[in-house]
Amino acid sequence: MSLTLFNLTGRRALITGSSQGIGLALAKGLADAGASVVLNGRDEKKLKDAASQFASPVELLPFDVTEHGAARAAVDAYEAEHGAIDILVNNAGMQHRGPLEDFPEDAFERLLRTNIASVFNVGQAVARHMIKRGRGKIVNIASVQTALARPSIAPYTMTKGAVGNLTKGMATDWAKYGLQCNAIAPGYFETPLNAALMADPNFNSWLEKRTPAGRWGKVEELVGACIYLSSDASSFVNGHILYVDGGITVSL
């Protein structure tokens, strides 16, 4: 009986930024749990390559999550033609490293649009339909930097702090309509976004000593948290930020 709470059969999940890395891993995990999966990204070829990795057919919904109008138009059209989006995973994100005193303005603006505006844009577009149905799951991808900072990524840290607080705001506004809005905050995972850090022996040594688990996370280790927050098992969980970080946020 209890395991049926995690069954996503009959649910449809839209995962933004799902052509690679964490987004792709989460999409595969939700599909394995029974969900119908809709992949999103700007590069349709990359989406098709990602889709070829699934055992069952998946749908593609390419649009730019940083554009409010494009997000709303794409979501509205999809719902009208195909039906309900039951689960939204706001995963699209980017990183740019550099000293704060010299941080480029254009990079700062891209971080704002990609890491914060996208969560608002797609979250609002999907929530409008969920509210009418009286149910829905929104899972935002935050970060260990939602709680902590480290040198050279102050603007990124700011954006992920905002994702955490926007998640709380979504829950506060939309829980009364039957939506559960929560976030997963990954620690340091082996992803293309972290390729530069993974190639740095000094950083690797620091991370292994700093993380109680003593290693990088593997993207598959985020799947359980996503299934939980996407399923009936989390029906009374709202505005929560679930850290999946090997213990880094609880240890000095």
Nearest to 18 by CA among 107, 105, 118: 118
- Residue 78 catalytic? no
Own/partner contacts of 32-37, CB < 8 Å, gap of 24 or more, are: 32/223, 33/6, 33/7, 33/8, 33/227, 33/230, 33/231, 34/7, 34/8, 34/9, 34/10, 35/8, 35/9, 35/11, 35/86, 35/87, 35/230, 36/11, 36/12, 37/12, 37/13
Q: Identity (one letter) of the amino acid at 224?
A: G
Question: Looking at 156, 188, 228, 243, which residue is catalytic?
Answer: 156
Contact criterion met (CB below 8 Å) for 88 and 13: yes
Paired with 242 in beta bridges are 184
Q: Determine the Cα–Cα distance for residues 252 and 247; give it in Å rounded to an integer.
A: 10
Cβ atoms < 10 Å from Cβ of 137? 25
* Distance of alpha carbon 247 from alpha carbon 241, whole angstroms: 14
Residue 107 corresponds to which tokens in the numbers above? 């990079």
Residues known to be catalytic:
156
